[in-house]
Amino acid sequence: MNTTEYSRFLSSKTPVVGDAGRFIDDADIHPRLFPFQRAITRWAIRKGRAAIFADTGLGKSYMQLEWARHLGQRTLILAPLSVARQTTAMAQDIGIRVHYTRGGDDVIDGINITNYEIVDHFNPDAFDAVVLDESSILKSIDGKTRLRLTSLFADTPYKLCCTATPAPNDIAEIANHAEFLGIMTRADMLATFFVHDDDGWRLKKHAHDAFYRWMASWGMSVRKPSDIGDYPDDAYNLPPLTVKPVWFESNVSTNGTLFFLGLQGIQGRNTVRREVMHDRLGIVADMVNGSDEPWIVWHGLNEEGHELARLIPGSILVEGTQSPEEKALRIEGFQDGKYRVLITKPRIAGFGMNFQHCANQVFAGMNDSWEAYYQCVRRSWRFGQTRPVDIHIVLADAENDIYQNVMNKEREATVMSAELIEHVRDFEKEELGGIEEKDEYTTAETHGRDWTIMLGDSTERLAEIADNSVGLSVFSPPFLSLYTYSPTPRDVGNSRTPNEFWTHFGFIIDHLMRVTKPGRNTCVHVSQVPAMLARDGYIGMKDFRGQTINAFEDAGWVYHGEVCIDKDPQAQAIRTKAKGLMFTQKNKDSAWLRPALADYILVFRKPGDNTEPILPDITNDEWIEWARPVWYGIRESDTLNVAEGRDNRDERHICPLQLGTIERCIRLWSNRGDLVLDPFTGIGSTGYEAVRLGRKFIGCELKPSYYRAAISNMRRVVIEKSQLSLFAEDQQAS
């Protein structure tokens, strides 16, 4: 084995995003940017495809402009309404020209900016770089538009997304960004890092570090400068924020009932909103008209906006029927002080805008979207705001459920955002500093009478075994099941694609060929692998058995034979809850029914003459039974104690090979005194049977908890064997 080749392969297995951009020095970044902004910008330029998840006011606009300038490509920035003009003005502060285009027929070779609403007017092939400003819009816009954006810029070499910090369990937002950037599809992300159970999708326990390292390799999550290093937070301490619900009594009913029975879905919420609209808007108008300061009034229904504009002198209404140019002029008029009060919907001006001149907002009602609420609040409550910010929410008493729902989401999001920062902080610092991942891999070795267990990577530890020294190998390789038993890329099972798995397993197969005596065998336990909709895009079966045969034959082994091991379909249905085995499916549509998954022992022979004939200690009757193509009578519970090696983070119970199966393999294809090998030792089942049956054993195990369990089982079998010998001697003496 070429150790350099294997090291390169292991590096390729780590799910992180490499550098696709260019390296620049800190001095090359415009001095207007703060040190933490320069660090993030340099990282994003180096990555080429990246996301900046930074809180409002942390300077994402400056960072994206410098990213585009230093990559030097024809760039298109997509931004929410009016943010385009705002960004164009900010670009002048750092000496960058940004061309605002509305049609796509006047783009320049430098940096162009436009609005999301007219992206279809542009030819994506005309650009080598694209920026999504306020990219959380990927979650807010309809799925068709999001998929359109992802498809349009699928082949664009350089991509940058800028938005606020997502929650760590916001799978949709993280997946949308990864998919747009071309990092990983949603299906691949779920299959790699997540598992689906009764509570929905959750992060696999062993995938915890791998997932956050992966995120940090393409996204920087920042709430304040100190999150990513020794940067001061002095300029980024937010002023006080006060959220004030304003309740008023209402006598409402829904669905024609005499009494109010609670909010019943979206229709019930809209019904209540309309019934109390007059009272609500009167309270909002009195509040705003009783002040001479700037205000933002957020509303949800078109008729609310029109009535508020009538009730509040000096206000300007921005609504969907207006042209983009008209909307932009009205919003900019509010920013410039031409209008004291802005009346609009969250989806129109709730993303990306800087309204720090305004410290008062009022929601004329609200819906259940925390995202919309949060974005609206952050238009005023952002870094750069110098005054305390007051948020008023005018609600009927019947709408209490909506308010409580949004406030609960607010609390959860605050906690989860802090958790995300905590999880990725060290990984992000490594990314910013260009530090490579530390390999905490360790090795050890324990010897006993007739056995040796080696802790470590089988690919590397097998290199220590002498050529042509093994009489038989019996083992069960890891199947395609990511982060089930360990987090390390050295785990063969932690392979994201079939090609990656078979490449990794190929190193083991080659070692087995080298260490096995000519003419001797290796017994490989396999079963077929179910294909899952989330991971594979379909429900069906993968021919793992056939692929294993192909892999061994490609490595020079002779496919010698196989045996099928009978399985109980009812026990398998209860354990796996497989759709194709359930009685309910039989009674619903038997087209989905399939047989239970059997186990197989595949026997491969190393070419050459066997110089030491095997004389099996089995009777003719046993041979008649064992020569059958199907082995019956193998009890599924005939295993060593799995609890000894159990790790609390394991996603599945370890399923050791049945001792009866191992016994038949060892007695059929090895002599007493032969060396038996298991490159995936687990808790030591093969070693236990080998020593019990008078053979010697050597095994490799990557996972420390299994290594310790294997040692315990090997010591136990030696004691048991000694006790049996003493008992036999006593019997003979008597």
Q: How far apart are CA 44 and CA 682, in angstroms?
A: 42
What number is the average pLDDT over the span 210-229?
92
Q: Kindly state whether residues 359 and 387 are assigned to the same domain.
A: yes
Q: For tokens 């799910």, name the residue.
A: 15
Average pLDDT over residues 253-257: 51
250 and 150 in a common domain: no
Q: Which residue type occupies 555?
A: A
State the CATH number of the domain containing residue 469. Answer: 3.40.50.150
CA distance linking residue 417 with residue 168, whole number of Å: 7
Instruction: Report pLDDT for 377.
Output: 95
Q: Which two structure tokens, joined as six digits, stand for 170?
A: 């916001």
Among the ranges given (29-43, 104-118, 402-416, 569-583), the one the predictor scored with the smallest mean pLDDT: 569-583
Report angle CA 667, 671, 676 to the nearest 5 degrees.
Answer: 80
pLDDT score, position 651: 65
587 is a domain residue: no
Q: Is the pLDDT of residue 466 over 60?
A: yes
Instruction: Please indicate, yes or no, whether residues 134 and 274 belong to a single structural domain of this protein.
Output: no
Pick from 22-31, 262-271, 546-555: least confident? 262-271
Same domain, 636 and 728: yes
pLDDT reported for residue 486: 87
Lowest mean pLDDT of 107-121, 453-467, 497-511, 719-733, name the range. Answer: 719-733
Report helix, strand or coil for 95: coil
The 10 Å Cβ neighbour count of residue 150 is 16
In the listed set 195, 210, 232, which residue is the last one of a domain according to the structure?
232
Cβ neighbors of 496 (< 8 A, separation 6 or more) are 13, 15, 188, 191, 192, 482
Task: Provide the percentage of residues in the chain whose pLDDT is more than 90.
Answer: 60
Give the model confidence (pLDDT) of 423-458 as tens digits. Answer: 888 889 889 887 666 667 899 999 999 999 999 999
Residues 449 and 311 in one domain: no
Give the pLDDT band of residue 732 (cuts 50, 70, 90).
Answer: low
| 10: in domain | no
**Mean pLDDT lowest for which of 228-232, 511-515, 723-727?**
723-727
Percent of the chain exceeding pLDDT 70 equals 92
User: In this predicted structure, what is the pLDDT of residue 337?
Assistant: 94
- Asked, for residue 580, whether it belongs to a domain, the answer is no
- Asked whether residue 260 carries a pLDDT value surpassing 70, the answer given is no
Taking the C-alpha atoms of residue 203 and residue 417, their distance in angstroms, rounded to an integer, is 16
Strand order in the sheet with 389-396: 241-248, 389-396, 360-364, 295-298, 341-344, 315-317
Asked if 381 and 271 sit in the same domain, the reply is yes
Q: Which residues contact 249 (CB under 8 A, 6 or more apart)?
A: 396, 397
176 in the same domain as 282: no
Indicate the DSSP class of residue 484.
Answer: S
Among residues 363, 373, 350, 366, which one has the least CA distance to residue 401? Answer: 366
Q: What is the rounded CA–CA span in Å between residue 201 and residue 215?
A: 17
Q: Residue 73 in contact with residue 128, Cβ under 8 Å?
A: yes
Residue 297 has pLDDT above 70, yes or no: yes
Same domain, 469 and 405: no
The residues near 681 (Cβ < 8 Å, ≥ 6 apart) are 453, 687, 699, 700, 701, 706, 707, 710
C-beta atoms surrounding 244 within 10 Å: 10
Q: Are 669 and 614 in contact (CB under 8 A)?
A: yes
Phi/psi-derived region of residue 608, left when phi > 0, alpha when psi is between -120 and 50, beta in every other case: left
Q: 427 lies in a domain? A: no
**What pLDDT shows up at residue 653?**
59
Q: What pLDDT, on a 0 to 100 scale, did the predictor assign at position 464? A: 96
Q: Lowest mean pLDDT of 80-94, 154-168, 638-652, 680-694, name the range.
A: 638-652
DSSP annotation of 636: T
Same domain, residue pair 261 and 128: no
Contact between 87 and 77 under an 8 Å Cβ cutoff? The reply is yes
Burial class (CB in 10 A: 0-12, 13-18, 19+), 216: buried
Q: Is 191 helix (H, G, I), strand (E, B) or coil?
A: helix
Answer yes or no: is 582 within a domain: no
- Collapsed DSSP state (helix, strand, coil) of residue 321: coil
Binned at pLDDT 50, 70 and 90, residue 375 comes out as confident
Residue 443 token pair: 């090795």
Between CA 53 and CA 56 the distance in angstroms is 10
Q: Do 250 and 286 fall within a single domain?
A: yes
CA distances from 616 to 202, 335, 435, 457, 693 (A): 50, 90, 56, 33, 11
What SS3 state is found at 546? Answer: helix
3-state secondary structure 573-601: HHHHCCHHHCHHHHHHCHHHCCCCCCEEE
Can you tell me the mean pLDDT for 84-108? 90
Average pLDDT over residues 219-236: 90
Q: Kind and range of the H or E element at 492? A: none
Q: Measure Cα distances from 464 to 396, 454, 461 in Å.
A: 76, 10, 6
Q: How confident is the model at residue 82 (pLDDT cuts 50, 70, 90)?
A: confident
Is 80 exceeded by the pLDDT of residue 729?
no
Cα dihedral across residues 621, 624, 627, 633: positive or negative? negative
Q: Round to whole Å and give the CA distance between 375 and 356.
A: 14
In a domain? residue 191: no
- Residues near 291 by Cβ (< 8 Å), separated by ≥ 6? 360
Residue 569 lies in a domain: no
What does the alpha-carbon distance between residue 202 and residue 204 come to, in Å, rounded to a whole number? 6
Instruction: State the CB neighbour count (10 A cutoff) for residue 339.
Output: 19
Residue 686 in any domain: the answer is yes
Q: Are residues 516 and 385 in the same domain?
A: no
Domain boundary among 210, 232, 254: 232
The boundaries of the domain holding residue 142 are 17-183+218-232
The answer on 346 and 223 residing in a single domain is no
Is the model's pLDDT at 356 over the cut of 50?
yes
Q: What's the Cα-to-Cα distance from 276 to each of 244, 270, 282, 395, 403, rounded to whole Å?
A: 19, 10, 10, 9, 16
Determine the pLDDT at residue 257.
46
Report the distance separating Cα 364 and Cα 395, nearest Å: 7
**For residue 269, is pLDDT > 90?**
no
Report CA-CA distances (Å) from 485 to 107, 205, 458: 53, 9, 15
φ, ψ for residue 152, nearest 5 deg: -55, -45
| Total number of domains in the chain | 3
- Residue 51 belongs to a domain with what CATH number? 3.40.50.300
Position 139 scores a pLDDT of 67
**Is residue 655 classed as helix, strand or coil in its secondary structure?**
coil
* 43-77 burial code (b ≥16 CB/10 A, e <16): bbbbbbbbbbbbbbbbbbbbbbbbbbbbbebbbbb
| Predicted confidence band of residue 324 (pLDDT cuts 50, 70, 90) | confident
CA–CA separation, 284 and 120 (whole Å): 39
Short-list 725, 658, 724, CA closest to 688: 658
Residue 645's pLDDT band (cuts 50, 70, 90): low
Confidence class for position 259, pLDDT limits 50, 70, 90: very low
